[in-house]
Amino acid sequence: MEYDIVIIGGGPAGMTTALYALRAGKTVLILEKEGFGGQIATSPRLENYPTIESISGSEWSDRLFEQITNLGASFELEDVQKIEKVDNLFKITTDYNEYVGKTVVVANGVKPRKMGLPNEEELTGKGISYCAVCDGPFYKGKEIYLVGDANTALQYALLLSGYCPKVHMLTLFNKLFGDKILVDRVLQTENIDIRHNLSMTKLNGVDKLESVEFEDTQTHEKVIYETDNLFIAIGQVPQNEFLSELLPLDHGFIVTNEVMETEIPGLFAAGDTRKKENKQVITACNDGAVAAMSAVKYLNNNNL
């Protein structure tokens, strides 16, 4: 089947693109390789979305997914490997199938940034985690170690503090960089202990994490924490390797104009996957709405 718009990614940007495209009467296929909702689906609370004072990220994502499926969105859980433009159409190759779209919107978000230390991959899932929502309950009642200093790390610290006696928050710099409301909550939470100016240097363990080593960036002293757990929340990186032969990328991010157009006609990008300053749920939704309207305009103007 030939779709009007093929959307790569089922997070806030991708699903909002689908919402606006479907309401414009276009056929839509969403290709998502893991699970719908994106990173926000793992967030314990979403509190800065207009009209909603507080909601879990998973519930918010579920509502949007239900909304677009009720409107007729098609979706497949497949990993996109390649996009090619053939004449005026796009051929999208996944790990299982090939699809054809008159337009494509890339909204595949980002993935957690890793430390890049030896042993990190081997110990992931054996004490090292990038998702406190997913893995935090396994350590209920234990002291927790968390690396990071921005919004995700702050949210994780608050979540973990609810069922762990002590959360050790370890940061590279000498301050916290998140939203003021989150920073204030963390600073006011008695069982969150913050230590600044620590650079992680080594992860120890074979079958499981046993200890983590840091260097104090001020004194250059070695600091060792004996722990079987470490949550890493140090940012995100794009997942656009499959586009490297099709588009020039800026440090892995897709470059667009203000209406989400790339340099290839008919190919758009939305959300955290594109080069932009602010990465929030609401800005991802904004990108998705704009991308959908731009794609619809392109389809109509070219009689596709």
pLDDT digits (tens, 9 = 90+) for 41-100: 877 788 889 999 999 989 999 999 999 999 999 999 999 999 999 999 999 999 999 999
Task: Specify whether 21 is located in the same domain as 99.
Answer: yes
Domain range spanning residue 201? 120-232
Q: How many structural domains comprise the chain?
A: 2
Confidence of residue 236 (pLDDT cuts 50, 70, 90): confident
Helix, strand, coil share (%) of the chain residues, nearest 5: 30, 30, 40
What's residue 288's pLDDT? 98
What's residue 114's pLDDT? 93
Task: Specify whether 104 is located in the same domain as 158.
Answer: no
Task: Specify whether 152 is located in the same domain as 185.
Answer: yes
Residue 163 has pLDDT above 80, yes or no: yes
Confidence of residue 133 (pLDDT cuts 50, 70, 90): confident
What's residue 242's pLDDT? 95
Give mean pLDDT, residues 200-225: 96
DSSP 3-state of 153: helix
Paired sense of beta strands 236-238 and 110-112, if any: antiparallel
CA–CA separation, 96 and 75 (whole Å): 14
Kindly report the CATH number assigned to the domain that includes residue 226: 3.50.50.60
Give mean pLDDT, residues 246-260: 95
Contact between 261 and 294 (Cβ < 8 Å): yes
Phi, psi of 292 (to 5 degrees): -60, -45
User: End of a domain among 232, 252, 274?
Assistant: 232
Using only the alpha carbons of the chain, give its radius of gyration: 21
What's residue 34's pLDDT? 87
User: End of a domain among 177, 201, 232?
Assistant: 232
Helix (H) or strand (E) segment spanning residue 142: none
Confidence of residue 39 (pLDDT cuts 50, 70, 90): confident
CA distances from 101 to 11, 25, 84, 171, 209 (A): 19, 15, 10, 45, 46
Task: Specify whether 124 is located in the same domain as 227.
Answer: yes
Task: Specify whether 198 is located in the same domain as 256.
Answer: no
What's residue 1's pLDDT? 83
Task: Specify whether 247 is located in the same domain as 208.
Answer: no
Identify the residue with better confidence: 7 or 178. 7
Please state, as a whole number, how many other Cβ atoms lie within 10 Å of the Cβ of residue 99: 20
Alpha carbon 39 to its chain centroid, in Å, reads 4
Task: Specify whether 20 is located in the same domain as 71.
Answer: yes
Give mean pLDDT, residues 139-157: 95
DSSP 3-state of 294: helix
User: End of a domain among 215, 232, 249?
Assistant: 232
Single pTM value for the model: 0.82
What's residue 138's pLDDT? 87
Task: Specify whether 149 is located in the same domain as 208.
Answer: yes
Best CA proximity match to 84, nearest among 65, 68, 112, 104: 104
Task: Specify whether 98 is located in the same domain as 182.
Answer: no
What's residue 47's pLDDT? 85
Task: Specify whether 135 is located in the same domain as 73.
Answer: no
